[in-house]
Each structure stands twice: as structure tokens, then as C-alpha cells.
Structure 1
Amino acid sequence: MNKALWDISPVVAPDAPLFPGDEPYALKWTARLSPGCPVNLSAITMSPHVGAHADAPLHYADGVASAAEVSLDPYLGPCRVIHAIGCGPLIRVEHLRHAAENLPPRVLVRCNERADTVWNPDFSAYAPETVEWLAARGVRLIGLDTPSVDPATSKTLDSHQQLLRLDLRVLENLVLDDVPEGDYELIALPLKLAGACASPVRAVLRAL
């Protein structure tokens, strides 16, 4: 019997919500099935931050790893989903304490009853001290069901800088709408995109 599987990736489409100024998803056909052509071929353009994605350290610092250079280990393995629905602008330590015993190396936080389907700048982000608190408990990857670990208006990206300092990885724009709180196996591998500041992922959770 196959283990239960949760697809926690939103659809990548032209109307997918994204930060203002980011390149939206677009697809064009470069060849179509016809008497002289045996295949359909398409080409896409998009920011690597559209949909569920893994920020590379290069997104928030120079001279560090791109999406092609990060280790895959943080993106695959035991994971805990913690509910902090309605936590407000910042995910604080007190929102996570109820599920903090014996944390696995990966923690995803559900902030929303339903993930936004249009751009909304008033999303929940991680408080920098929460990132540090999780790292001190052995967590190597954090994630959430909003566009960023920092508020939309932040110019200092304090939580991203904590990720850099503590050598953590991050997944953003997940869809955790139907995922119960608990432990899973996470599979969310970034693509080997040379020089890219992030990579799309097809993120899934599998029952243990």
C-alpha cells in the first residue's frame, strides 16, 4: 500500500501571486504537432521565486551558494508541520512551543487556514529570534505557507540573514491547507540551476 502523500506545492501559472516586480510565469510554444513536426515543445520564463521554492543563500548574500550548489540533504527527510494559524505578522517562539519536543531537522509552519491565491503583503513571517531558536534545537530547514520568511516591507531581511549566519535552508510559498499537524517525510529538491538565487520545488510530504 502506498503511503499517504500530500502535495504542498501551488500551481505555477501566469496569475500565481508573486512579489511586485518579480517575473511572472509565462509559457510559449516553440513547436506544435503537425505533419512536419512530431512533438509539442514549449519554453518558459519566470522568477525562480514563483510558487513553492527554495531560496539559495545567493538570494540574500554575494559570494555564496547558488541553487545549483546547495546540498540536497536539508530538503529530504523527517519533517514536522506545526500549526500557528492566525499568529499575526510574526511567527514567534510561543507559537511553536506546543510542538517543540524532539524536533526533527525540518520544520514547516502553517500560518493560514487557506493559502493566498492573490498577492497579499500582509502575510506572516518568521521573527529572527524564532529562526535562531529552531536552529539551536537542531533544525536545518524551515518553511512556511507564505511568500517569505521576512515581512514584505523589510529592507534588512533579518530572518534571511539569520538563515545565512546559521547555515539554514528555507522553503517558501508552500500550501499546507489540508496538512494535519504532525511528523512526515519531506521531499522538496531544488533544481540544479547554475547561478540562480532560488529554485522552484515540487514539495511533497509523505506519511511516516
Structure 2
Amino acid sequence: MIDISRTLNADTPTWPEDEPFSYDLTASIADTGSVNIGQFTTSCHTATHIDAPFHFNNSGLTVDQLPIDLYVGRVLVVDVTTKQRITPEDLALIDLQGVRRVILKTDTWPNGAPFPTEIPELDARLGSFFHEHGVELVGVDLPSVDPLDSKTLDTHHAFEANDIHILEGVTLDGVEAGLYHLSALPLKLEGADGSPVRAILQEI
């Protein structure tokens, strides 16, 4: 198994406007006589996470409404490390027959690196391209499928319009392109716009 999740701690890079991750021990065994009890605070979009459509669409599905089978099953990791803009033409020769989940490997945000100032751009036409090929989940080793300063979130909306869901912030250091088994289940957060996940690849 390969852990493709970013570690959550006080040094985890976050979106500039978001709540940084913090964990505090609110009661210790010395206090309770039996257990340690902690609490954490964070944004739903810190480190490795999924976006629910409600994140960018007031009428979109929330995390608890998403079909969980999206996040478990065979996935194709595709190497796009040479691309600064990823288009349908770049993926035209990739065999997507029977592929329901795709993760795009850009290698532009290594694990442990600061929050990036710019990232490769995903062409919004990928929404219809992936839909035509039966892909329902797209993951990236980036904090977003749109440019970091985007307000229109064209690719987010194109993905939603084509019934494609989003996994962001995975870390693919040392992961080769190819087929794997993915597990990246979100927490069952009622009404939430996103959720951290523990994302795992298993060689098959």
C-alpha cells in the first residue's frame, strides 16, 4: 500500500484564507485518570481532501450526499509532469477503457513543500472529455483543479456539469503511472462542502 495523503500538523500548508490545522490535547490521562482526549480544527480543504459540489455551487451536493463508491476502486495514475496546461489532447492516447477514476500526476507540489504560488492549469474541456470516457472521479496532486486565483472556477463547474467529482492535494512522490486500487473516503460530514481524506493506493 502507498499512502498518498499529506500529513496534517501545524506545518501543513493551507490556503492563505483558510483555518490552519491545529491539534490540541484538551484532557490528559493525568486529568481524566483513564484517557487522553484531543480536538482539532482545520478547513475542509486542507491537505488531501475531496470537494463536494456545494463548495462552489449553493445547490450542489454536500459531502454526506456523495456516493461513497466513487472513492474506492480501480484508479489510473496518469503522468502529466511535462505539462503546464493539461488538455484533452494531452490525454488522447491514454487508454481510458473501463476507467472510472483518474489521478493526474504533475509533480509540481512535492510533499512537505510550501503552498504553491502557481500550478498547472486543467483545461475546462476535460469535463466533457472525461465524461465521454466514463470517468467519474479526477484526482490531482495540486491544491485545486483551477488556477489558484480563479474566482469563476471554470474547471470545477465543468466537472460538476459532467458528473465528475474531485480529489485534491494527493502526494505522488515516487508513484509510477499505472493502475492501482484507490481508497480515499471522506468523513460523513452533514452539510459540508469538503472533507479531509486518508488516500491510499494499493498495487494491483
> TM-score band (shorter)?
over 0.9
CA-to-aligned-CA distance 1:38-84 (integer Å, 9 cap, x gap)? 11110100001111101011101012211111110111111100000
Alignment match, 1:133: 129
- Is contact 2:108–2:119 with CA below 8 Å preserved after alignment? no
Alignment match, 2:105: 110
Aligned-residue Cα RMSD (Å) equals: 1.5
1:47 is aligned, of 40, 43, 53, to 43
- Is contact 1:84–1:110 with CA below 8 Å preserved after alignment? yes
Summarize the alignment of residues 59-208 of structure 1 with structure 2, pairs less than 5 Å apart.
59-88=55-84, 90-112=85-107, 115=110, 117-208=113-204
Letter of the structure 2 residue corresponding to residue 127 of structure 1? D
CA-to-aligned-CA distance 1:130-150 (integer Å, 9 cap, x gap)? 222111100000011000000
| 2: CA distance, partners of 1:190 / 1:35 | 32
| Aligned-pair CA distance for 1:97 | 2.8
Give the TM-score, by structure 2 length: 0.94
Alignment match, 2:12: 16
SS in 2 for 1:121: coil
- Is contact 1:53–1:172 with CA below 8 Å preserved after alignment? yes
- Is contact 2:5–2:200 with CA below 8 Å preserved after alignment? yes
Taking every aligned residue pair, what percent have the same amino acid on both sides? 34
Runs of at least 5 residues in structure 1 that lack an aligned partner in the other structure: none
- Is contact 1:86–1:112 with CA below 8 Å preserved after alignment? no
The verdict on how the C-alpha distance between 1:160 and 1:101 changes in structure 2, with shifts beyond 3 A counting, is closer
The verdict on how the C-alpha distance between 1:14 and 1:35 changes in structure 2, with shifts beyond 3 A counting, is closer
Residue-pair matches, total: 203
- Is contact 1:80–1:181 with CA below 8 Å preserved after alignment? yes
SS in 1 for 2:117: coil
Runs of at least 5 residues in structure 2 that lack an aligned partner in the other structure: none
The verdict on how the C-alpha distance between 1:175 and 1:76 changes in structure 2, with shifts beyond 3 A counting, is same
- Is contact 1:31–1:37 with CA below 8 Å preserved after alignment? no
| 2: CA distance, partners of 1:119 / 1:186 | 25
| Aligned-pair CA distance for 1:100 | 3.0
| Aligned-pair CA distance for 1:166 | 1.2
Letter of the structure 2 residue corresponding to residue 92 of structure 1? T
- Is contact 2:24–2:39 with CA below 8 Å preserved after alignment? yes
